[in-house]
A and B are shown apart, each in its own frame.
Chain A
Amino acid sequence: MLSYALRRLAFALPTLLTISVVVFALMALAPGDPMAQLPLTIPAEVRAEMRSALGLDAPLHQRYGMWLWQMVVIEPRVAIEALLGIEGNDATRILSWQTRGPVFQLIAQRLPQTLTVLGLAYVLGIAIALPLGIWSAYRHNSAFDRVANGIALLGVAVPPFFSAAILIYIFAIRLDWVPSIYDTTLAVTDWSSAWAQVRQMALPVVVLSLQTTAQITRYMRAAMLDALGQDYIRAARAKGLSERAVLIGQAARNSMIPVVSVIALGVPQIFAGAIITEQVFGVNGIGQLLITSLQANDLPTVQTITMLLAVLIVLANLVADLAYGLLDPRVRYE
């Protein structure tokens, strides 16, 4: 198993390298100018000078090599030094073109918002989805199953920006129950600020967890239906185990295996997939950083975030595979 994990990791490196080359080439070769957002009153000569200060004059392979070196060597070193409290030396970190600040500093600032809102939505979604899926499989074709299935279908089919716009209109504007814009600087220090945090998180969490719930319910229900048809369930029933024990102890436990891997694989997607929700609610997290950087042609930021997402996806895949092996002893690694 260890050697399997190592082999997977060894394969992950060329994958990541390929992805980084593809993304870099895509961004570098495409038209679009990081200076396009400046007012027209700034003359062309000044723009040209600003562009060359960003390093846009250097040949492509040199820029890529520089970025890779910073990403793999300098940034981890800076992080370790910061952890150990060593005074930073003058290494050039990956700097955003738009803010001129280190990209990793930006990401570190955005991560808490993304994690609290998206993480909560994901956990909430799972917590609702699992029992929903189990029960609607158990009561297959009952009214409960139909309603739950309908809701799950709806959750998959409603575009998040549509549900978000309607929820904002009803709850923030008409009823005035919650704020329409997320305050990222709010620090939770006492009960009233905690309540403010809950209120401002309510709508984005609802929109996001509706999607998660929908997807995972569908998987859980399918896996559960599968498990309930197996022989060992009949055997367990024949042995006289209570329905509860059969349902939770046997069927649910076995059907969790594929669902766990779905959950693991979904983790990176919540970072990438929440771009729209973050944009609509002003939750300025990683997704919003990505889209604004993309609009401003801020190549280093886009490149770095995409790369981190790819790393996360590869890791999640690995975790999903290993979890499979741990939960299901029948799985053998070749």
Chain B
Amino acid sequence: MLGLIVITVGLGPWVWPLPAKLIDLGARNAGPGWAHPLGTDQLGRDLLAQLLAGGRVSLAVAGAAMIVSISLGTALGVLSGMFRWLDGPLMRLTDLFLALPVLPLLLITVALFRAPLSAALGPETGIFILIVLAIGATSWMSTARILRGEVRALMARDFIRAARSTGTRNGAMITRHVLPNIIGALTVSATLGVASAILMESALSFLGLGFPPDMATWGRLLLDGTAHLGNHPGRALWPGALITATALAVTWLGDGYRDQNDPRHHAR
């Protein structure tokens, strides 16, 4: 299902050729039909085209935010797992970030810096970068903690000791021995990160702090659509269902992967 969503959204213009921003004043608020399979909005923009375009933005935000948070989390987790002297300070830093109230802080950052960033980089890129960084920078902590534990357990294993005794350098140690062995935990963290980033982006959009109204994302479409639940329910149901389905599929994927790779879960 996830594959289907990603492929459809990725191939958007080939699947459905209508441009998302095309205004057709003759077809305002149209219901589903041949010309517009899911109907149109108040400017006559095609909902299906908007969903595809919005999906590209939402998925790009989620993917990029996940990469930011995984990179941060991996770096901190591996470093503090490998080097005792770094462990204390880095874990205190993690605790500090864990003690931050995330959603309020995210709201503050986005509310406050959207204007200067969008002025500097253009409204779309600016807000994209801001949202990606904000979500990424506030969601790496659990990855760091999990990986630290994994790495510590790894360090006690014989093959690592052996590698160390033959004088393997730290850099080579990380790329050759540590990272390949924690890839499972990393993947689980990454999938869960994508799911939470999708939900976070839609929450920000819902509170009016996401992308500007002329840029369709699933969260934005859902916000605009909720007012029409009575007369055009599809406008809210489609983006809502897509957000849910994507988050569901990604989480399910992560769960499945963990069950497969975690021997403890085979027990009973």
Contact = CB atoms under 8 A, between A and B. Distances in A.
B247 A173 contact: no
Interface stretch (B33-41, B105-113, B169-177): B105-113
B74 interface: no
Contact of B207 (A26, A153, A162, A291): A291
Interface residues of A, number: 50
A157 B108 CA distance: 24
Contact of A11 (B92, B104, B108, B112): B92
A228 B268 contact: yes
Contacts of B113: 30
Given A162-B243, A229-B264, A169 B207 contact: no
Contacts of B223: 161
Contact of B230 (A16, A169, A294, A314): A169
Given A272-B101, A279-B207, A310-B100, A156 B112 contact: no
A302 interface: yes
A302 B240 CA distance: 30
Contacts of A47: none
Contacts of B207: 275-276, 279, 291
B213 interface: no
Interface residues of B, number: 45
Interface string B224-243: 00100110000010001001
A294 B98 contact: no
Contacts of A291: 107, 207
A64 to B, nearest CB: 16
A317 B112 CA distance: 29
A154 interface: yes
B59 interface: no
Contacts of B99: 12, 15-16, 19, 310, 313-314, 317
Interface in A286-326: 290-291, 294-295, 302, 305-306, 309-310, 313-314, 317
A272 B229 CA distance: 27
Contacts of A68: none
Interface in A22-40: 22-23, 26-27, 29-32
A71 B11 CA distance: 55
Contacts of A306: 101, 104-105, 108
A161 B267 contact: no
A295 B207 CA distance: 10
Interface in B215-265: 219, 222-223, 226, 229-230, 236, 240, 243-245, 247-248, 251-252, 255, 264-265
Given A30-B112, A31-B115, A306-B105, A159 B268 contact: no
B226 A268 contact: no
Contact of B244 (A22, A162, A279): A162
A22 B137 CA distance: 14
Contacts of B115: 31-32
Contacts of A290: 104, 107
A241 to B, nearest CB: 17
A248 interface: no
A249 interface: no
Contacts, number: 135
Contact of A159 (B107, B116, B202): B202
B247 A23 contact: no
A234 to B, nearest CB: 10
A92 to B, nearest CB: 25
B43 interface: no
A157 B248 contact: yes
A158 B244 contact: yes
B123 to A, nearest CB: 15
A199 interface: no
A253 interface: no
Nearest to B200: A159
A118 B14 CA distance: 46
17 contacts: A26-B109, A30-B112, A32-B111, A156-B195, A157-B199, A157-B247, A159-B244, A162-B222, A165-B229, A166-B236, A228-B268, A275-B104, A306-B101, A310-B100, A310-B101, A313-B99, A313-B101
Q: Which 6 A-B pairs have the closest CB atoms?
A: A229-B267, A30-B112, A157-B247, A309-B101, A157-B248, A162-B240
Interface of B: 92, 95-96, 98-105, 107-109, 111-113, 115-116, 195, 199, 202-203, 206-207, 219, 222-223, 226, 229-230, 236, 240, 243-245, 247-248, 251-252, 255, 264-265, 267-268
Given A161-B202, A310-B101, A314-B99, 12 more contacts: A23-B105, A140-B268, A157-B247, A157-B248, A159-B206, A162-B240, A162-B243, A173-B230, A276-B203, A294-B104, A302-B104, A306-B101
